[in-house]
Amino acid sequence: MTDLAQNKPPITVLVRDDFTSQVEGSYSLMKPLVLFFEGKDTNIQTGLDKIETSLKLKVNDLTKDLYRIALAVYVWDLHTLRKSYEPRYFGILISVSNKEKWDSVKNHLEGTLRFLTGDTYDLHFVQGKKSETEFKFDKRSEHSVLLFSGGLDSLAGFKWMIDKNLKPLLVSHPAMGLISSVQKDLVSRLRSIVGNDLPWYQIRATSRSGSKLTEKEHTQFSRSFLYLTMGATLALTLGIDREFICENGIMALNIPLTASRIYSNTRTVHPKFLMMYQELLDSLFGHCLSIENPFVTKTKGEVVKLLDSSGYRDLVKIAVSCPNITPLRWGGVATSKIRHCGICLPCIIRRVAINYANLWSDDAQYKDDVTGTYAQIPKEGKKLLFEMMDFARQIDKFSDVNEAFMEFPQFYTGETVDPCQLFDTAKRQVDQFKDFLAKRADSSLKQNLHVP
């Protein structure tokens, strides 16, 4: 009789330790990704030791559980190919410090991950070493955590916090070497503006080099779950009660600005995802840490406008928005100077924002220029520009959000954000896009897009 015939739960990710090894026979192991967080076979770089060494504090066991779950999901996400964006199956067997607590949030956690990534989750918890102390939050820091990616939105988030007299504690997760150096450069320059007492934690959490856990998938839809958890880990350990993740409302809302973005547009900072993550934290730890996106009703241009200030304008060209840095380097582009392809959606949205913020002469270099002659714009860039123009014309048809709901249900995010505000944000984005074309686009491009 097969394992499936015996109704053994299927497992695709096995976090192997002394506790899970005792119950493996009760599960159907479907050629699982086997992860070792500790011991001689360790194949995961958690960064937890760096956190504890830097803070000179021990991370609570319940917080460590959340961190390990988030990292296991992220590593699986990187190593499991998507097939035409069909849902993948994630079944994990992992030990935790408080099985009863994790069983109580199992359904909510699975739903949160499913909303974020579109995949199917089945989490199986095993009682591991019980924690000697219960989690207890003690607010003892005046800082607020800011997730600092090295992009324009998080850079503007820093300026916003300074303007609000908030004290940032920066947390970064470098996905690649070049981004790591960008983050270091920006933090160094920010310290020259606000002082050297600016705390910053750059935490590399992924599979270990040489572990044979070969990366296969580029989408990384689960990355923000890990990123938020990194920030939460430092906040809960240090006694910080606010965490900011900054992304403009257009990208956060997941509106398919173009047909090609319907499936590749992520929900990394979607208002509903942030609400679900907040509810998870509240269930696990009590309501002691708030997760906030201060830019949810702002366009990218309105966010970048914050950087039109002495000291910050010089940082605009350093911040990276393009997800295609590695392919550029593979293609022989000198990424020490050019770090933006110029024809992906984030690059085009960035250029619209730079135009609105009056920072055109302060911007970075682009490999391809979508404001040039129509013949010189690569096919991908043309396609996106046409689709963005179609989106603009669709939004222009609607006078209010009630008319737009049938075409764009994304404006409704539950009780998290007023849909009228989100619709107004989209309207302003469209106006800023059309202004960008009017002021910056070559006449041949405007002619093909049928722009006056």
- Chain mean pLDDT for the chain: 92
Confidence class of residue 308 from pLDDT cuts 50, 70 and 90? Answer: very high
Q: Are residues 50 and 14 in the same domain?
A: yes
Q: Are residues 157 and 255 in the same domain?
A: yes
Residue 259: pLDDT over 90? no
Which of 271, 292, 313 finishes a domain? 292
Which of 292, 315, 346 finishes a domain? 292
Residue 282: pLDDT over 70? yes
Residue 304 placed within a domain: no
- pLDDT score at 263: 38
Residue 299 placed within a domain: no
The predicted-structure confidence for 128-172, as pLDDT tens digits, reads as follows: 999 988 899 999 999 999 999 999 999 999 999 999 999 999 999
Residues 328-341 have a mean pLDDT of: 92
Residues 243-271 have a mean pLDDT of: 76
Residue type, 33: L
Residues 69-87 have a mean pLDDT of: 89
Tokens at 440, concatenated: 């910056």
Q: What is the CATH number of the domain that holds 247?
A: 3.40.50.620
Q: Are residues 56 and 176 in the same domain?
A: no
Residue 202: pLDDT over 50? yes
Structural domain including 408 reads 325-449
Tokens at 114, concatenated: 């499913």
Of residues 178 and 61, which shows the higher confidence score?
61
Residue 297 placed within a domain: no
Q: What is the dihedral of CA 153, 155, 160, 161, to 10 degrees?
A: 120
- pLDDT score at 113: 97
- pLDDT score at 219: 72
* Lowest mean pLDDT, pick from 25-29, 80-84, 241-245, 356-360: 80-84
Residues 180-199 have a mean pLDDT of: 96
- pLDDT score at 266: 67
Residue 318 placed within a domain: no
What pTM was computed for the model?
0.94
- pLDDT score at 215: 66
- pLDDT score at 5: 46
Residue 300 placed within a domain: no
The DSSP string of 363-375 is --B-SS-TTS-GG
Beta-carbon count within 10 A of 111 CB:
14
* Lowest mean pLDDT, pick from 120-129, 213-222, 316-325, 364-373: 213-222
Q: Are residues 178 and 235 in the same domain?
A: yes
Residue 445 placed within a domain: yes
Residue 201 placed within a domain: yes
The predicted-structure confidence for 384-399, as pLDDT tens digits, reads as follows: 999 999 999 999 999 9
d(CA 321, CA 309): 20
Among residues of the chain, what percentage have pLDDT more than 70?
Answer: 95
Confidence class of residue 412 from pLDDT cuts 50, 70 and 90? Answer: confident
- Distances, alpha carbon 195 to alpha carbons 188, 192, 241, in Å: 10, 6, 23
Q: Are residues 114 and 151 in the same domain?
A: no
Please report where in the chains the tokens 């965490």 appear, as a residue.
243
Confidence class of residue 207 from pLDDT cuts 50, 70 and 90? Answer: confident
Q: How many domains does the chain have?
A: 3
- pLDDT score at 414: 80
Residue type, 418: D
Q: Are residues 117 and 153 in the same domain?
A: no
Q: Are residues 174 and 286 in the same domain?
A: yes
Q: Are residues 107 and 164 in the same domain?
A: no
Q: Are residues 211 and 284 in the same domain?
A: yes
Range list of β-strands (E), 246-310? 290-292
Q: Are residues 344 and 420 in the same domain?
A: yes
Q: Are residues 155 and 277 in the same domain?
A: yes
d(CA 200, CA 212): 31
Which of 68, 93, 127 finishes a domain? 127
Q: Are residues 26 and 55 in the same domain?
A: yes
Residues 5-33 have a mean pLDDT of: 92
Q: CA end-to-end span of the chain, whole Å? A: 71
- pLDDT score at 133: 87
Confidence class of residue 176 from pLDDT cuts 50, 70 and 90? Answer: low
Question: Pairing between strand 28-35 and 10-15?
Answer: parallel
Of residues 308 and 220, which shows the higher confidence score?
308
Confidence class of residue 356 from pLDDT cuts 50, 70 and 90? Answer: very high
Residue 1: pLDDT over 80? no
Residue 220 placed within a domain: yes
